[in-house]
Amino acid sequence: MSLADLTRNSFQSGISPTKWIQLIRLFLSSNQYVADVQRELTDSILILFGSYPGEPTLGRYLRIAIEQQVLSIPTFVTTFLQAARSATFHSPATLDILCKVVLDAHDASDTPTLGSILPTKMPPLSIFATIHDAVVLLKTAFTFPASSFHQLTTTASELLILLISCASDFSQLTTGQAMNYWNDITELQQMPLEPHVRQVLDNFTFSLSLVLGDDAKINREAQMMHSIQISLGNKADSLAPASEYETTTFCLFFDNLILKRVHPYGSGDGVRPAATLVALLRWLAWPPPVFYTQMLLSCLTSLAHVNFIPDARKSLLWRAFIIGRLPRLLAILEKGLESEGLAHNDLKQIIKAALSSVATRVDVLVRCDTRPPIKSGDSMDGDVETHKSIFQELLERLISLSLIDQNFAQSLDALVGTENHSKATSEAQEAGVPLEVYVDNRLSSDTSLEDTLAFLDQTKADYAVHEQLAIVIHKRFISLVGSQDVEGLSHLCKLLYTHEGLFDRISLHIRAFDIIGAGLVFLDEYDCETVGDPQTAVGHLGDVVLFLQWVIATYQLHRCSFTWEQKVVDPGIVKNVAARPHEVPQDEVPSFLAWFKALFDQNSDGIEDTILRSTKPKTLLFFSPALFMHAIQLLAQQKIDADVLKNGVSYFLGPLLNWTLVGVIKSLVRDVQARGFSHSGPFLEIISTLLSSSLCPKPVMSLCAQALLRAFSDPRARGNGGTPPPLLVNLWNTVNKGLGFPEKPATALVQQTPWVNPLPHTRQVIREALRRDKPGSLDIDAILLHTPPTKFLHLFWSELSVAASMGNMDQCKRLATHVLVIVPSTSSSGGCVPPLMPVFLHSILPSVIAKMDREFSANGSSAGGHTNLGGGSNGTTAPTNPEHTVQIELLASVLSFSLLAAFHTEWAWRSICGEQKYLLGQSSRLMARGLADKLRVKKTSQTSRLVGQRLAAAPGFNSMVMGEV
């Protein structure tokens, strides 16, 4: 039994405080091994407040423990203020009780403040850290509604005044630390403070302002001072989730939502993104106004950055997300936050406060409206000129969702509501129909493709219409699949792959994964047995195939599996092909031979309805490349002549079979490279014929471009004497024309540089993500396409270690949490991204610990003490080398951050989405317990002991291990 067990059992059994303290003394007298009695005792009571907020009996437990000197006031103050940052303790009644315990105990002690509520020899930097915790507490207090049942703002103010009186030596503060404290207190001074409290804060900020004249190297000096604090035994809040002024976590989160908009858990995936935001609120433990402000500011900062790069396509995506999708997520989030005890009216005020704060960031808003030039071929949707500012459009969208009222919006921007409605909205009103009905009519298959594309161009910058457009397309696609309407589906799919940027826009609002899954199931099951006109039906189905091939390649969904109506289908049905006759499965050989005879036999009557009815389209798609290969082989053997081959190829130029060309051309290109260009005349001629046809579908060229360009870079393209074969030059010009490039001379083909991986080098990508001068972004999917998870994580940890030693600790912790946890694992829905936290714990962590142990031994560092995760520690030892201290701090922070973030996300998914699903593949609590056990049993490992001590000092991690949260 532990102190936590004893306290919990005593409280739940109704044992009085007097009897409880007697049991505690008895327990301590017979359990000498208890390491940090006071810290463990404090934790045992604070954890219960999480389940029993505002319980007076727990307050009396604390009072009697302090009165009988089993618990010291300084230990309780520092522990309580750190725990108060967690959303678990955001109950005004609880916090009021805890503040009163400190104030009453100080009054009864009749001793100076420094010596009563803080130790006399407490390092100055630790004192400032504790003051900062109290500032955060008071800011939190002002976020709660006023109530006659508590006086939290008063008690928290008095506690802050006492702590400020302990600060005297400002000389040890760095410029960066002083600026952080000054910013926090300046924000606090905007609150309705009592005059005597405001006077104390004014004096404190004046002292801080004297330090701000220093021209020190902020980041490096702050990191080294942080290391000294740890060495002195001050844990401060180094394992607390976040500073209230960092935007890295949100930037990474929203960038991932947009980057993976087509994947599960992306921007349009229903309530899940909002549930994850609730988890972030609990994990970050920020006051809701700060949370909302940073959320909005992070999105705007990211848009400002892509405008600065400039990146036109990303700029359009971010703008569409901020104006079109983010307000809807806020509306969904509003419902989710009801579980956090925030009332409807409170949330309205919080959103208003956040918008008022954002309105002051003119520098960011101006950069958001400075749009990059849009180049042909690089745009998501062409020219998007509009005279409205992004802030005005955001406010109007929030009004339409009833998140704010027009009077408030006009107080921030007088132009809100004075402009005319969008053209689509006005036309819907003139027609007397709802916007959704109007959009549905404009997308009807009865409307010509040209007219529909013109309408889509018209709505490209009409962000309020994007949501309705997405909903209509989603409903229509699913309905057409259900009714087996291949003609209507063909029209819709052609729109999606023809209009550049359309699928980007709608995927921000709806589960695009469902559309792809439904389309794949439709293709998998479709046949022409009962179709009246199979030739027309197969031609229509071709547009569905081309759309699926295009979307899967564009959004890198090859490794995913899709489920629709409990049917699982592999995207390989539109990618995997039989390149040679012997690769055709035995049961499909009769169909293969029948099709070969119909296409490449001079006595053939052509493609009859019978053969179309007897062969599933997915089967034809699979063995089409083998048909070409077999025909070329027979041509080489002089069993068929060139005219028969050309006649057979001609069938693939029209809509009946041109939807099979992606697999055909890629297979032919691979054979060209294998044989050599000088021996591939028929192959090159067929490829050129297929691509130069006016009926060649647009996606075919874009999907085959990479394979073709890679072939052109082959040194064998030079030919004899450095002159490329004429057929290759013709094909080269055909590809350039198809891709929109100007025609180039044959010498340019010879000068082609060898193909290299288009993705940035993994190390450079990680370093870019760790930069602090730009919003964070890291595409894990793209990295794992060419880097195994273990290799990536080893490299990732190496870069984190270097960055942390250079003073970038905070960014390292945020990015590591994003990589290991916040990036949604789609392994349960297809395996696009495996859960990386289990890989890190089982494959990377042991080698990291072993390496650090060797470095400690080589440098003569020593550490001792027994760690009892979930039950305290007998001290906080640390290596004497500051670099080692940084590495210990980094490892402990990453482990604590990641597991707590996973825990809160799992909780949010259960409570809001009703999903019994584990983010990491297994329970984060079980993983935390397993980690604690592994660290505890490695008694000879200095690193394990030190990391264990740091984790044991983190109340949130301890509570998760013990099952109290």
Both tokens assigned to 129: 């850290």
Task: Give CA torsion, residues 737, 574, 597, 728, to 10 deg.
Answer: 30
* Rounded Cα distance, 301 and 296, in Å: 9
DSSP states of 801-849: HHHHHTT-HHHHHHHHHIIIIIS---GGGT-SS--HHHHIIIIIHHHHH
Which amino acid does the sequence have at 493? Answer: C
Phi, psi torsion values for 690, nearest 5 degrees:
-65, -45
Nearest to 675 by CA among 637, 711, 631, 623: 711
The span from the CA of 693 to the CA of 686, in Å, is 11
Pairwise CA distance, residues 461 & 492, whole Å: 21
Closest CA to 492 of 557, 551, 552, 532: 551
Rounded CA separation 51/47 (Å): 7
Beta bridge partners of residue 569, listed in sequence order: 562
Residue 577 token pair: 């092909």
Per the rule left: phi > 0, alpha: psi between -120 and 50, beta: everything else, 289 is alpha
Low-confidence ranges of the chain (pLDDT < 70): 31-36, 87-88, 148-149, 175-176, 212-245, 310, 339-345, 371-387, 418-421, 678, 714-725, 739-761, 773, 822-834, 859-882, 961-965
Residues in the chain: 965
Q: What's the Cα-to-Cα distance from 673 to each of 309, 666, 667, 677, 735, rounded to whole Å?
A: 38, 11, 10, 7, 17
Tell me: the pLDDT tens digits for 295-316?
A: 999 999 999 888 877 677 888 8
In contact, 180 and 129? CB cutoff 8 Å: no
Provide the 8-state DSSP code for 679: G
Contacts of 650 (CB under 8 A, 6+ apart): none
- How are the residues of the chain apportioned to helix, strand and coil, as percentages rounded to the nearest 5? 65, 0, 30
Tens-digit pLDDT profile for residues 87-101? 667 788 899 999 999
Phi first, then psi: give them for residue 238, nearest 5 degrees: -65, -25
Tell me the sheet residues that pair with 325.
Answer: none
Beta pairing partners, 562 = 569
- Is residue 330 within 8 A of residue 403, CB to CB? The reply is yes
* Contact yes or no for 443/495 (Cβ under 8 A): yes
- How many other C-beta atoms are found inside a 10 Å radius of the C-beta of residue 426? 11
Cα–Cα dist 792/294, whole Å: 30
Question: Given the structure tokens 């315990």, which residue do they identify?
Answer: 101
Give the closest residue to 887 by CA, choosing from 826, 828, 838, 950: 950
Contact 304, 364 (CB under 8 A): yes
How many Cα atoms occupy the beta-carbon half-sphere of 703 within 13 Å? 29
DSSP 3-state of 118: strand
E strand or H helix at 564, and its extent?
strand 562-564
Question: Residue 914 in 3-state DSSP?
Answer: coil
- Please list, residue by residue across 361-393, b when 16 or more beta carbons sit within 10 angstroms of its beta carbon and e when fewer do: beebbebbbebbebeeeebbbeebebebbbbbb
Q: What was the pLDDT predicted at 310? A: 67
Backbone angles phi, psi at 236, to 5 degrees: 45, -130
Distances (CA, A) of 660 to 529, 576, 630: 20, 12, 16
* Strand, coil or helix: 162: helix
Half-sphere CA count of 669, side-chain side, radius 13 A: 25
Compute CA 636 distance to the chain's CA centroid, rounded to the nearest angstrom. Answer: 54
Please check whether residue 89 is in contact with residue 97, taking contact to mean a CB–CB distance below 8 angstroms: no
The whole-angstrom distance between residue 165's C-alpha and the CA centroid of its chain comes to 43
Residue 831, pLDDT score: 47
